[in-house]
């Protein structure tokens, strides 16, 4: 006896087939980050949420308690640094969202979408208009 196809058949395969965007930070470069560099990027993600156009690299270094050399070792500009930090954060959120969908591959497709959107909502829930405006002004942002 053959099972009747359902709406969720192949859901995981369809989701997996969606092409992934190219990350700002290559896999190799991300793997080479030191624990301190990862910590700085995480802190920068939080710091930039209220906007960053008014912050210089020197301001960022002071607020992150690191040297300018450390920041310029990560990225060539403030904009590139913020894009790198936020892109890294979005990849983390994306992995969490994909894991939420994969938690019950035979479950209800609508519930899978709800789990995905709930997990993805974490990425944008604290985004401020100032951050969105500043990010929109960055080429490639």
Cα–Cα distance for residue pair 45/63, rounded to 1 Å: 12
pTM, entire model: 0.69
Cα–Cα distance for residue pair 29/25, rounded to 1 Å: 6
Please check whether residue 46 is in contact with residue 87, taking contact to mean a CB–CB distance below 8 angstroms: no
Domains of the chain: 33-136 (1.10.357.10)
Question: What pLDDT is attached to residue 87?
Answer: 87
Question: What pLDDT is attached to residue 6?
Answer: 56
Q: Tell me the pLDDT of the chain (141 aa) as tens digits.
A: 555 555 556 666 776 787 777 888 888 988 999 999 999 999 998 888 888 889 999 999 999 999 999 999 999 999 999 889 888 888 887 777 777 777 676 677 788 888 888 877 776 776 778 888 887 887 765
* Helix H or strand E segment including 85: helix 78-102
Cα–Cα distance for residue pair 28/50, rounded to 1 Å: 30
């Amino acid at each position: 006896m053959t099972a009747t196809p359902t709406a969720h058949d192949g859901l995981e395969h369809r989701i997996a087939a969606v092409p992934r965007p190219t990350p700002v930070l290559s896999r190799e470069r991300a793997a080479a980050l030191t624990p301190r560099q990862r910590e700085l990027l995480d802190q920068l993600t939080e710091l930039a949420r209220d906007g960053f156009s008014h912050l210089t690299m020197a301001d960022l270094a002071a607020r992150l308690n690191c040297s300018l050399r450390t920041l310029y070792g990560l990225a060539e500009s403030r904009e590139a640094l913020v894009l790198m930090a936020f892109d890294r954060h979005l990849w983390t959120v994306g992995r969490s969202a994909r894991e939420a969908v994969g938690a019950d591959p035979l479950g209800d497709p609508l519930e899978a979408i709800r789990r995905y959107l709930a997990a993805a909502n974490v990425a944008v829930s604290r985004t401020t208009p100032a951050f969105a405006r500043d990010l929109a002004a960055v080429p490639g942002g």
